[in-house]
Amino acid sequence: MFARLEEIQQNEFIKAAIDHVGAGVVITDPEQDDNPLIYCNQGFEELTGYKAEEVLGRNCRLLQGEETDPKHVDHVREGLANRKPVKVEMKNYRKDGTVFWNELHIFPVYIAQMDQTYFVGVQKDVSQRREQEELLGHYLSEVKRLSTPIVPVQHNISVLPLVGTIDDERLQQMLEAVSYHVKEKKEEYLILDMSAVHSYNEEVHMGVYQMNQLLDLMGTKLVITGIKPTFAIQSAPYADFSELSLQTYATVKQALQVLRT
């Protein structure tokens, strides 16, 4: 609400504010053929590289291109058909052909005086955040890969040193890596070295148990090394290893000496 300002001055203020909100703002008229743009702010011009006169009268799909995911476009189309607000992140193209990630919000606005609904769209460039997320995802999968280092030490024996915290996700990822490795190499023994595991909990126990079952099915024997005396006490609430008939040794070196003979 404005106090003591002529309508014309109010409009100037609102226009200046919308031009500088740091995002694209557009209005389309769905009563006209192909729902064309009837307004775009300065933020839209800066974001897309198009001048208002180049886009007014055209549909916003002019920003789409080869890398735009059709699923995202379907989502927008569906929302508009039902006159529902839409929020989507989609790849769009600037006038110069460069791609950006567009965080697009669209919502219907009913203007009572005209008894008509228009659509307002707000576009924000979120490319930097998307790039950081992609990079983070890449690093996380690299960390996961490196945290299951299966080392072949002989033609029929590999060692997997268990390091860090074992949670459910890590356990599944380890089982996947182990089954892939054993399937490829068809080894006789897999040594699971626990000397770098600091506390023995249910997850670790489940890990050993499930890995034993998996390897059993694949014809590879699981050998455990590096169990500290404290583990024996900590593992007491869970099932006993002896029940799994696993071979256990104090160190990897000792296991290798026995298994080689």
Ligand X SMILES: Cc1cc2nc3c(=O)[nH]c(=O)nc-3n(C[C@H](O)[C@H](O)[C@H](O)COP(=O)(O)O)c2cc1C
SS3 124: strand
Number of H helices, E strands in the chain: 9, 10
- Give the nearer residue to ligand X in terms of CB position, either 60 or 162: 60
Neighbours of 60 (CB within 10 A): 24
- Give the nearer residue to ligand X in terms of CB position, either 107 or 238: 107
- Give the nearer residue to ligand X in terms of CB position, either 118 or 249: 118
- Give the nearer residue to ligand X in terms of CB position, either 35 or 127: 35
- Which residues form the interface with ligand X (CB under 6 A)? 26, 28, 35, 59-61, 63-64, 73, 76-77, 80, 90, 92, 102, 104, 106, 119-121, 123
Contact 27, 120 (CB under 8 A): yes
Question: In angstroms, what is the minimal distance from the CB of 193 to ligand X?
Answer: 53
Name the one residue in this structure whose structure tokens are 């890990």: 207
Q: Closest CB to ligand X belongs to which residue?
A: 121
Contact 95, 79 (CB under 8 A): no
Question: In angstroms, what is the minimal distance from the CB of 107 to ligand X?
Answer: 8
- Residue type, position 66, single letter: E
Per-residue CA distances from 28 to 38, 93, 115, 118, 120 (Å): 5, 19, 15, 6, 7
- Give the nearer residue to ligand X in terms of CB position, either 123 or 235: 123
Q: How far apart are the first and last CA of the chain?
A: 89
Question: In angstroms, what is the minimal distance from the CB of 13 to ligand X?
Answer: 23
- Give the nearer residue to ligand X in terms of CB position, either 67 or 216: 67
- Give the nearer residue to ligand X in terms of CB position, either 42 or 59: 59
Question: In angstroms, what is the minimal distance from the CB of 223 to ligand X?
Answer: 57
Q: Which DSSP symbol is given to 206?
A: H
Question: In angstroms, what is the minimal distance from the CB of 176 to ligand X?
Answer: 37
Question: In angstroms, what is the minimal distance from the CB of 49 to ligand X?
Answer: 13
Alpha helices in the chain (DSSP H): 7-19, 42-48, 52-55, 70-81, 127-146, 168-185, 202-218, 229-234, 252-260
Question: In angstroms, what is the minimal distance from the CB of 20 to ligand X?
Answer: 19
User: For residues 124 and 135, what is the distance between their CA atoms, to the nearest angstrom?
Assistant: 21
